[in-house]
A and B are shown apart, each in its own frame.
Chain A
Amino acid sequence: EAGVVQSPRYKIIEKKQPVAFWCNPISGHNTLYWYLQNLGQGPELLIRYENEEAVDDSQLPKDRFSAERLKGVDSTLKIQPAELGDSAVYLCASSLQGSTEAFFGQGTRLTVV
C-alpha cells in the first residue's frame, strides 16, 4: 500500500514569491492534515480536512496561506507571498475518519532566501 506522498521534497524560493505544496493521501483516508514544523520543534497543525471540507483552519495564517482539497482526495497548500520566516518543513498526514492514527508523508523542506 502506498503511503502519503508529498512533493516536492525540497523547495528554495526568494521571498515574496509564491510556492505550492502537493499531498496525495493514502487511498480511502477521508481526513487530511497539513502541519508546519519549524527547526527543533514539534509540528503545529495548520489545517484539517474531512473529505473536501476544512473543519479546522483556525491556525492557518489566512493572509498568505491557502489550502484546497478538491474532490476530497489530493490537497494543495499555497503560500503567497512567502516570507523568510516561512522556512520550515511542511508535513502532510492522513487518517481514516475518526481514527486516532495518522500516517505522515516525508514532508517538503521550504527555504525562503
Chain B
Amino acid sequence: AQTVTQSQPEMSVQEAETVTLSCTYDTSESDYYLFWYKQPPSRQMILVIRQEAYKQQNATENRFSVNFQKAAKSFSLKISDSQLGDAAMYFCAVLGSNYQLIWGAGTKLIIKP
C-alpha cells in the first residue's frame, strides 16, 4: 500500500521570501509519479508540479521546485519569492501503476503581507 505524510499542518511565510513544504511517502513500486497540488478556497485542485520517479533531476516550474530524494522517499516543495496568491492548501500525492492517486493530509500555506 502507498502512503503519503505531510507533517506540517500549517506554514507561514513573509511575502517575497522562500518556504519549503515537506512530504514523505512510502511505496513498493519502482515506477511512480509524485505531485504537488494547490487547493485554494475555490476548492479546485490545481497541479503545481510533477516528478517522475525515474528521473534524478528535480522538477522546476518557475518559482516552484522540488527536492526529490528517492532513497529517503522524500519530496519537498520549495516556493521562491512567495506571493499572496500562493496562499492555499498544498497536497502531496503519489501515483502508482494502478492510476490511483494517494494523497497526504495537506499543508495550509499562509502568506504574510
Contact = CB atoms under 8 A, between A and B. Distances in A.
Interface stretch (A15-23, A40-48, A68-76, A78-86): A40-48
B107 to A, nearest CB: 11
A106 B106 contact: no
A66 B24 CA distance: 34
Nearest to A99: B99
Contacts of B111: none
A26 interface: no
A42 B44 contact: no
A45 B47 contact: no
B95 interface: yes
A62 to B, nearest CB: 18
Contacts of A93: 45
Contacts, number: 48
A104 interface: yes
Contact of B45 (A41, A56, A91): A91
A25 interface: no
Nearest to A59: B100
B2 to A, nearest CB: 12
B91 A56 contact: no
A76 to B, nearest CB: 19
B4 interface: yes
27 contacts: A40-B105, A41-B103, A42-B4, A42-B93, A42-B105, A43-B45, A43-B101, A43-B103, A44-B103, A45-B100, A48-B100, A56-B98, A56-B100, A89-B43, A91-B43, A100-B33, A100-B50, A100-B95, A101-B50, A102-B47, A102-B101, A103-B47, A104-B44, A105-B44, A106-B43, A106-B44, A107-B43
User: Which 8 residue pairs of A and B lie closest in terms of their CB atoms, listed nearest first?
Assistant: A42-B103, A104-B45, A107-B43, A106-B44, A100-B33, A42-B91, A106-B43, A45-B100
